[in-house]
């Protein structure tokens, strides 16, 4: 089984998931492996053998906010190799945090195409905008 890799931002640790049952897996170089000296070879839920070497890492690209043009993900040129870094305004969408807050404040969640209900990953932004608006009134 080839694990799936997810990463919410380019400058944070990758997460590994079973390609068959979607169970969370430790990374091939996690702290537990280094402490215990044991590498996980099988999924703890479905028992499939894990082939970490065949997993495809997340491919990042430069990205700007679709609304205001602020940079969200930028390629940093350095020696010996370049890397990608996310802005503090990056929330995982094509919009920066300020534009996403504006979008969430003006949009009915049932009609939103950015984050789909019921599992909208941006519900926390909507909640913080509504709480802020209630506090200022």
What distance in Å separates the CA atoms of residue 102 and residue 112, rounded to the nearest whole number?
A: 13
The candidate with the shortest Cα–Cα distance to 3, out of 48, 38, 68, is 48
Domain that holds residue 36: 1-59
The pair of structure tokens assigned to 31 is 């702290």
The 8-class DSSP code of residue 56 comes to P
Q: Is residue 110 part of a domain?
A: yes
Per the structure, the count of domains in the chain is 2
Residues 55 and 107 reside in one and the same domain: no
Residue 132 domain-assigned (yes or no)? yes
Query: Is residue 63 very low, low, confident or very high in pLDDT (cuts 50, 70, 90)?
Result: very high
Strand blocks (E) in 19-135:
24-25, 63-64, 71-76, 83-86
**What pLDDT is attached to residue 75?**
93
- Identify whether residues 55 and 1 lie together within a single domain: yes
On whether residue 122 sits in a domain, the answer given is yes
pLDDT tens track for 27-44: 887 655 556 556 678 998
Q: Which residues pair with 63 in a beta bridge?
A: 73
Label residue 12 by pLDDT band (50, 70, 90): confident
Whether 43 maps to a domain, the answer reads: yes
Average pLDDT of the segment spanning 43-58: 92
pTM to 2 decimals?
A: 0.72
For residue 88, being part of any structural domain is answered with: no
Tokens describing residue 2: 């080839």
């Amino acid at each position: 089984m080839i694990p799936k890799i997810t990463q919410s931002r380019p400058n944070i640790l990758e997460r590994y998931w079973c390609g068959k049952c979607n169970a969370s897996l430790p990374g091939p170089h996690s702290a537990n492996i280094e402490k215990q000296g044991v590498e996980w070879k099988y999924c703890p839920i479905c028992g499939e053998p894990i082939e970490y070497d065949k997993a495809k890492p997340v491919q990042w690209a430069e990205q700007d906010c679709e609304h205001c043009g602020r940079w969200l993900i930028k390629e940093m040129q350095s020696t010996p190799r370049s890397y990608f870094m996310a802005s503090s305004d990056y929330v995982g969408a094509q919009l920066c945090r300020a534009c996403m807050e504006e979008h969430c404040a003006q949009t009915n969640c049932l009609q939103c195409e950015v984050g789909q209900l019921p599992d909208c990953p941006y519900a926390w932004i909507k909640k913080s905008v509504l709480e802020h608006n209630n506090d200022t009134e």
